[in-house]
Chain A
Amino acid sequence: MPTSTRVEITYREAVRHCIIEEMERDPNVFIMGEDIGRYKGTFRVTEGLYDRFGSERDDFIVPGIARRVMDTPIVEPGIVGMAVGAAMAGLRPIVEMMTMSFSILALDQIINHAAKVHYMTNGQAKVPLVIRGPGGAANQLSAQHSHSLEGWFAHVPGLKVVAPSTPADAKGMLRAAIRDDNPVIFTESPGLYGIKGDVPEDPEFIVPFGKAKVAREGHDLTLVAYSRMVHVCLSVAEKLAAKGVSAEVVDVRSLLPLDTSTIYASVEKTHRAVVVYEDWKNGGYGAEIAARIAEDCFDSLDSPVGRVGGLNVPMPYSRVLELQCIPSDDDVLAAVDRLV
């Protein structure tokens, strides 16, 4: 295997590069969404793609109207429904949700259609579909644009759900998602688009689903998180270290399938766990992780499993109130204090 060179790029670039590489590799891969082509994407993830995949005749579906980087009307159910049909007939669509909050409109297509096809056909048809986009709070987008819905999707058999926290994982997991024959929900926290990290350049670099990662080693307690909350936990671990407490941070990365063994191995070592998630605390995916730790690691635990989630309120517009809703270092530190 060639030793892979690495480059420092942003999370946004990692996603973009992966889409380009996969579209160049496989002519069946295409991307559709609102304002992703001529307008370059609301968060500029798809910048440059429209021109890159528009020069050759083959990239056009309808000359002048639609190409492999396909601008769509603002119709999330229609977009996802069309993508499901195209996927059943052998294409590999990537759907960009302008924000994951809008996937609420498409829940019927995602849950009732995409997730059910393989089962209802008893394996006759498959749906290699990726639905990706920013999920979670950004900056004062208020109540209708700040949802973390990955827990809803991770509830649904037939879907796979991932939420990478680093540029390298974003690139490696998006590649796994595009090559996966099942519908995948791929959430990108808008707060992560600008972060930088070393990413392998190898166009075959893949981070498989169902493998959590120990983002920081420690032995006194385990912080479990995914997406942007991993960074909160890493910051908390740093602060705890200054106080002489050694926290291990497990980055779940993949919610469905969930790698419980990495989580359990950590908890069995540290005997304490706090699960941190940005979604509403009540009924969010962190509750599922916490329940599993309690159920399966009971004998290893020295204290109840802690949970830190978003406040159970619609996201307020005021920056002060918004920051109050999203779990912060202090919220996690307080939860740790309750355990130790």
Chain B
Amino acid sequence: MAKQATSNLLESPADLEKFYRDMHFIRHFERYCERAYRQGKAGGYLHVYIGMEALAVGWMTRIKVGYDYVITAYRDHAHALLLGSDPVACMAEIMGRQGGLSRGKGGSMHLYDIPRGFYGGWGIVGGHTPLGAGLALAAKYRKEKRVVLNFLGDGASNAGVFFEALNMAALYELPCIFIIENNEFAMGTRLEYHAADTELHKRGFPFGMKHERVDGMDLLQVRQDAKRIVDWVRENQKPYLVEVMSYRFSGHGAADNDQGLYRSKEEIEEAKNRDPIHLLEKYLREHNVMTDEKMEAIEQETEEAAARVFEAADDSPHPDPTEVYDHVYTDMSPEAGH
């Protein structure tokens, strides 16, 4: 019989179990994406979130799903899953199938689930950051109390359009949280080789924006910071810039098979000492929230769930050729033929 959980828990045991499951499920889902890529079932560019799970789980569990808006770049699977998008529809989209969120027209980099407040899924580094400000503008314009989570990479934080978005968000007092997912690399370029000042949160300073650097590996810490900042932005209806420190364990994308060009195996192993899943396990163990057997069972169950998602998505047919013209416009078709 398991021991009684300690009474000074930061989260309820039920929530802790849910977050633990979410993190495992995301990791397994991503591994199946990589498998799909290796098997030729997914093509193009594919970027997984392995190592960064606590970041998305911590932030996405602090917003009002379906009310608040979320937008990010191409490393977008975890964000969709955490908003409750059907995992089979996500995987089917990654495989380019009819059952996908966009019936195979978006792909891995372009997941969208508008009813859940997920606005993508964008492939031009930095390009979506003003869109996130625009989502916040719409909310402010209608005098609603939404917040926008506007995720971007450390590499994207150098883009000119990002600075334009920061200035306008501050000028117009938009309820937009710019979240720099600092995983220390922009593709094959390390942070200190791409940013003149590696404290990226300071980019909020010239615009009079509140800004800070926080941790992205210890889920419970992430959850606390996220709550504090989301609450502040919702209440004050002003923007915020957060730099969340993380690390990606996988390659930049599925095609990144020469990681030795920018980091050593030792460095990855070292970083894995702060694997967000292990950090949470340590907490669960130390506070008697969960036995090792239970954790192993969850790991197993989420692996099987991801496997079922993979199979179900793979059963979805490819799009019909006639669909190619659908949704170029809302009200007309483009001219057909070559």
- Residues in chain A within 8 A of chain B (CB atoms): 30, 61-62, 65-66, 72-73, 75, 77-91, 108-109, 112-113, 118-126, 157-158, 160, 180-182, 210, 257
How far, in Å, is B162 (CB) from chain A's closest CB? Answer: 9
The 7 closest A-B pairs by CB, nearest first: A85-B134, A81-B130, A78-B164, A89-B138, A85-B131, A122-B102, A82-B134
Name A91's contact: one of B129, B141, B164, B172 (CB within 8 Å).
B141
How far, in Å, is B177 (CB) from chain A's closest CB? Answer: 14
* Mask of B113-155 contacts with A, CB within 8 angstroms, 1/0: 1110001111110011111111111111110000000000000
Closest residue of chain B to A70, judged by CB? Answer: B172
* A82-B133 in contact given A72-B168, A89-B69 (Cβ < 8 Å): yes
How far, in Å, is B296 (CB) from chain A's closest CB? Answer: 39
* A121-B102 in contact given A85-B134, A158-B328 (Cβ < 8 Å): yes
Contact A124 B161 (CB under 8 A): no
Contact A61 B161 (CB under 8 A): no
What's the Cα separation between A265 and B255 when bound, in Å? Answer: 53
Q: Give the chain B neighbours of A89 by CB distance below 8 A.
A: 69, 119, 134-135, 138-139
**B interface SS class:** mixed
Q: Give the chain A neighbours of B334 by CB distance below 8 A.
A: 157
Name A126's contact: one of B101, B142, B330 (CB within 8 Å).
B330
Contact B327 A119 (CB under 8 A): yes
Q: Give the chain A neighbours of B127 by CB distance below 8 A.
A: 81, 108-109, 112-113
Q: Give the chain B neighbours of A257 by CB distance below 8 A.
A: 332
How far, in Å, is A116 (CB) from chain B's closest CB? Answer: 8
Contact A122 B327 (CB under 8 A): yes
- Residues in chain B within 8 A of chain A (CB atoms): 69, 71, 101-103, 105-106, 110, 112-115, 119-124, 127-142, 160-161, 164-165, 167-168, 171-173, 326-332, 334
7 other A-B residue contacts (CB within 8 Å) besides A90-B138, A124-B102: A81-B129, A81-B134, A82-B168, A85-B137, A86-B138, A119-B328, A120-B112
Name A77's contact: one of B106, B123, B160 (CB within 8 Å).
B160
Contact B103 A85 (CB under 8 A): no
Contact A113 B173 (CB under 8 A): no
What's the Cα separation between A248 and B183 when bound, in Å? Answer: 64
Name A113's contact: one of B124, B168, B332 (CB within 8 Å).
B124
Selected A-B contacts with CB under 8 Å, 14 pairs: A62-B172, A77-B160, A81-B131, A81-B165, A85-B131, A88-B135, A89-B69, A112-B127, A113-B127, A125-B112, A125-B114, A158-B328, A182-B329, A210-B332
Contact B135 A85 (CB under 8 A): yes
Q: Give the chain A neighbours of B133 by CB distance below 8 A.
A: 78, 81-82, 85
Contact A91 B138 (CB under 8 A): yes
What's the Cα separation between A112 and B113 when bound, in Å? Answer: 19
Contact A66 B114 (CB under 8 A): no
Q: Give the chain A neighbours of B141 by CB distance below 8 A.
A: 30, 61, 86, 91
* A120-B168 in contact given A82-B130, A112-B124 (Cβ < 8 Å): no
Closest residue of chain B to A124, judged by CB? Answer: B114
Contact A118 B330 (CB under 8 A): yes
Task: Choose among B123, B160, B168 the residue with the greatest number of A CB atoms under 10 Å from its CB.
Answer: B168
How far, in Å, is B101 (CB) from chain A's closest CB? Answer: 7
Q: Give the chain B neighbours of A87 by CB distance below 8 A.
A: 134
